Amino acid sequence: MDTTLTRVDIRPFTADDYAAITRLHNLSYVDFLKEPHEFRFRDEHFPEHCRWARWVAEAGGQIVGFGGYHQTQWAYHPRKFSLWFAVEPQWYGRGIASRLYDLVLKALEPFEPLAIDAWSREDVPALIGFLERRGFAPDMRLWTSALDLTTFEPSRFADAVPRVEQQGMALRSLADLGLSTPGVREKLYDVWREVIWDVPIPPGEQRSEISFERWWAGYQQPELFEAGYFLALDGDAYIGLSQLWYSPEPDVLRTGLTGVRRAYRRRGIALALKVRALVFAREQGYRRVLTENESNNRGMLQINEQLGFVKNPAWMHYVKTFER
């Protein structure tokens, strides 16, 4: 297809476009690979109070780009929005991203936005330049990292789990506890709710409360790997967690949230949970585990570095503010 002559039209996104936008997403956000059903699930379970909209760029019957905005439930503000877009590499330089961006800003005008944010990996100068020319500035850095389980040596951490067990605590998987067991979901939500509050978010944002019902709705997806979701228990109390989730790559798992209640920190529990999860993944034949950490989260970064996770180029969070 001659990209210099083919007309590009932009239209609203439809449910038939999930496969196309997933392919483009995976080309642009290489550290966060998705499958079409993940985006469909997210859209179908999007909180009613959060706005979102999406458009696609089409040429010759092929989707060559998409763009849109959404609001995040974990840091909800009625006048703050996130930008998400991607363009087919062979169609760079045709002004598609600019047209999508202008369309998004026009669509946001009625809501009088205070800020809009976006992400770029630090080794993508074209995207960084695109954002900075439009008034975006970086305010946070995040690393994705990968651990090669074929070279991971559990023997180096043989005392991690026993050291926690000697303190009277136990490590159990969600599969062992059973999501249908009375009280398990509520206790899981309670420990998640405390731990998530201390996960760093961009400067100037305020974390929002997530109801039990909304939290549970987000858990009911195929990527939930109950056997790879580990919890630390002190008696009947859940005091820490470390999640593994399925990924689009059959030999790869993704780490979700790892954390410990404030009263139990600095006792080796997070390390023990991570070691238990990684040993499990290795025994199950997985070859890699992926994770991500905000640059100021030194506690988790040190644990991951100790375990052998290797950083990829950082992702930069960019924000553009509007005077109102």
Residue 129 counted as domain residue: no
Question: Do 11 and 58 meet the contact criterion of CB atoms below 8 Å apart?
Answer: yes
Whether residues 199 and 284 share a domain: the answer is yes
Whether residues 293 and 165 share a domain: the answer is yes
- What are the helix (H) ranges across the chain? 18-28, 36-44, 96-108, 125-133, 160-165, 174-177, 184-196, 212-219, 269-283, 298-307
> What is the pLDDT at residue 2?
59
Residue 230 counted as domain residue: yes
Two tokens at 162? 């026993």
Q: Residue 27 sits in which domain range?
A: 9-113
Whether residues 153 and 66 share a domain: the answer is no
Residue 243 counted as domain residue: yes
CATH number, position 83: 3.40.630.30
Domain boundary among 92, 113, 134: 113
Whether residues 295 and 190 share a domain: the answer is yes
Please give the Cα distance from 18 to 120 (Å, whole number): 22
Low-confidence ranges of the chain (pLDDT < 50): none
Query: Max alpha carbon distance in the chain (Å)?
Result: 70
Residue 67 counted as domain residue: yes
CA distances to 5, 11, 207 from 2, rounded to whole Å, are 6, 21, 47
Please give the Cα distance from 32 to 312 (Å, whole number): 12
Structural domains of the chain, count: 2
Two tokens at 244? 């593994």
| Tens digits of residue pLDDT in 146-163 | 999 999 999 999 999 999
Whether residues 76 and 177 share a domain: the answer is no
Two tokens at 106? 């026009």
Please give the Cα distance from 121 to 135 (Å, whole number): 17
